[in-house]
């Protein structure tokens, strides 16, 4: 059989997982990543420090043989721990027992595990090679070396864009094809802060929960990390009061927390510093009508369908994409047909999850502390 070759752009979460799944099935896989190798120079940060991993994502990790290693550093989250304005808390379980839970995983550690898996499966990883441009007629891609700015030309059979929300491959595809791209900004942004371990050692608050401080138009959440810290994410509108327009520095943030998130203040000793040093992240939903160009290129993960993070499903959905694409490529020797079948399967699913993620922002910030709603949930559980 002729050698089956594929070139993946991006060695983030989806790129590394897809590389593993295809290399395990005998494909010759080359992966080009803009950043340096995080296993050598440390993880350079990403879109969030930790992520909620759900069953959809775990299924994909099992297929790649990575679930055990990932789960060894994951922290179980049994439900939402709601922090009311008056300091009361209430744990709302996700399911009846510990078979229905989600897991908090560290993005950097997860990426390292996936890169090792990809390499041991036989994929070749090229770091500090950011996609610069593509000539689809001659099937050549040019990658820029971060260190000296030099351009390296590579021939490809097919390109897979796993290069995230700001995908360079998507931009190159849009030069030659109409993808029907539409980006809708949420009008809310986020900032990450940290709860360190308690002075006595151990977690400062209940570790096995996703903590939420719902406050109507805005909220805070906190997810546990295996080193006994929590990553807190403050979500605020971009305009109005309070918003990132009125909460502009550490002093403003301290005042907001003392008023609206009082029980969290003693937990975040470096609140002012974190607020000023950490970047403010934008939130948007990316819609495309078309993810591919015949057999030459296809997009997946955030490059195809970035979403707001309120359902904790962006990575889980990207992992499902990887399994679906690997299966279609395995089943169908006609690559254009495999890409088409992949899009047909996954695009409606991605749209549905994007919509649920938008709806869940309202639920999380506005409804989980509503007494009637809590009563209804309690009755449902009995």
Question: Using CB under 6 A, which residues numbered 217 to 276 contact ligand FAD?
Answer: 233
Q: Measured between alpha carbons, how far is 213 from 86 in angstroms, rounded to an integer?
A: 11
Shortest distance, position 145 Cβ to ligand FAD, whole Å = 11
Enter the DSSP assignment of 219.
Answer: E
Q: Does 47 bind ligand FAD (CB under 6 A)?
A: yes
Of 90 and 145, the one with the shorter C-beta distance to ligand FAD is 145
Using CB under 6 A, pick the residue from 70, 219, 256, 315 that binds ligand FAD: 315
Shortest distance, position 345 Cβ to ligand FAD, whole Å = 17
- Dihedral angle, C-alpha 70, 74, 77, 78, nearest 10 °: 70
Site string for ligand FAD, 337-356 (x = CB under 6 A): --------------------
Shortest distance, position 102 Cβ to ligand FAD, whole Å = 8
Q: Does 15 bind ligand FAD (CB under 6 A)?
A: yes
Using CB under 6 A, pick the residue from 6, 7, 8, 14 that binds ligand FAD: 14
Which segment (84-92, 117-125, 305-313, 338-346) binds ligand FAD by CB under 6 A? 305-313
Enter the DSSP assignment of 196.
Answer: P
Q: Measured between alpha carbons, how far is 80 from 58 in angstroms, rounded to an integer?
A: 20
Classify the phi-psi angles of 57: left when phi > 0, otherwise alpha if psi is within -120 to 50, otherwise beta. alpha
CA distances from 233 to 33, 197, 213, 264, 305 (A): 27, 17, 10, 12, 22
Q: Does 161 bind ligand FAD (CB under 6 A)?
A: no
Q: Pick from 299, 341, 339, 346: which is nearest to 320 by CA?
A: 346
Using CB under 6 A, pick the residue from 7, 8, 24, 34 that binds ligand FAD: 34
Could you give the residue ranges of the DSSP H alpha helices within 65-156? 67-71, 107-121
CB-based contact 70:105 (threshold 8 Å): yes
Using CB under 6 A, pick the residue from 80, 309, 340, 368 that binds ligand FAD: 309
CB-based contact 5:307 (threshold 8 Å): no
Shortest distance, position 288 Cβ to ligand FAD, whole Å = 13
Q: Does 281 bind ligand FAD (CB under 6 A)?
A: yes
Shortest distance, position 355 Cβ to ligand FAD, whole Å = 15
Q: Does 58 bind ligand FAD (CB under 6 A)?
A: no
Question: Using CB under 6 A, which residues numbered 117 to 156 contact ligand FAD?
Answer: 130-131
Q: Does 214 bind ligand FAD (CB under 6 A)?
A: no
Look at the block and give the residue holding tokens 């070396």.
Answer: 145
Using CB under 6 A, pick the residue from 20, 158, 231, 313 that binds ligand FAD: 313
Q: Which residues contact 255 (CB under 8 A, 6 or more apart)?
A: none
Q: Which residues contact 235 (CB under 8 A, 6 or more apart)?
A: 188, 189, 190, 218, 219, 220, 221, 283, 361, 365
Shortest distance, position 216 Cβ to ligand FAD, whole Å = 20
The footprint of ligand FAD (CB under 6 A) covers: 9-15, 32-35, 46-48, 51-52, 130-131, 162-164, 168, 190, 233, 281, 301-303, 309, 312-316, 318
């Amino acid at each position: 059989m002729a050698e089956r070759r594929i070139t993946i752009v991006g060695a983030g979460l989806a790129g590394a997982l897809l590389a593993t799944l295809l290399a395990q099935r005998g494909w010759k896989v080359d992966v080009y990543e803009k950043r340096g190798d995080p296993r050598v120079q440390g993880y350079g940060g990403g879109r969030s420090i930790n992520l909620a991993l759900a069953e959809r994502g775990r299924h994909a990790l099992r297929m790649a043989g990575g679930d055990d290693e990932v789960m060894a550093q994951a922290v179980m989250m049994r439900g939402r721990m709601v922090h009311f304005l008056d300091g009361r808390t209430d744990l709302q379980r996700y399911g009846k027992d510990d078979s229905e839970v989600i897991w908090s995983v560290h993005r950097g550690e997860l990426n390292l595990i996936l890169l090792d898996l990809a390499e041991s499966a036989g994929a070749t990883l090229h770091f500090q090679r950011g996609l610069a441009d593509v000539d689809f007629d001659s099937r050549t891609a040019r990658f820029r070396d971060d260190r000296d700015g030099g351009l390296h030309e590579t021939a490809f059979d097919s390109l897979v864009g796993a290069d995230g929300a700001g995908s360079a491959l998507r931009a190159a595809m849009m030069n030659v094809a109409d993808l029907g791209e539409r980006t809708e900004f949420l009008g809310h942004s986020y900032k990450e802060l940290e709860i360190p371990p308690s002075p006595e050692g151990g977690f400062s608050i209940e570790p096995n929960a996703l903590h939420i401080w719902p406050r109507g138009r805005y909220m805070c959440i906190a997810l546990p990390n295996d080193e006994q810290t929590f990553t807190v994410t403050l979500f605020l509108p971009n305009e109005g009061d309070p918003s990132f327009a009125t909460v502009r520095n550490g002093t403003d943030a301290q005042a907001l927390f003392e008023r609206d998130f009082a029980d969290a203040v003693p937990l975040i000793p470096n609140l002012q510093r974190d607020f000023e040093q950490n970047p403010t992240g934008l939130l948007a939903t990316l819609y495309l009508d078309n993810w591919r160009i015949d057999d030459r290129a296809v997009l997946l993960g955030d490059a195809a369908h970035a979403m707001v993070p309120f359902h904790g499903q962006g990575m889980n959905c990207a992992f499902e994409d990887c399994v679906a694409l690997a299966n279609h490529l395995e089943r169908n020797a006609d690559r254009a047909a495999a890409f088409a079948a992949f899009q047909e399967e996954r695009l409606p699913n991605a749209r549905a999850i994007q919509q649920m993620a938008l709806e869940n922002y309202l639920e999380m910030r506005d409804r989980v502390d509503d007494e009637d709603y809590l009563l209804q949930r309690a009755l449902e559980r009995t």
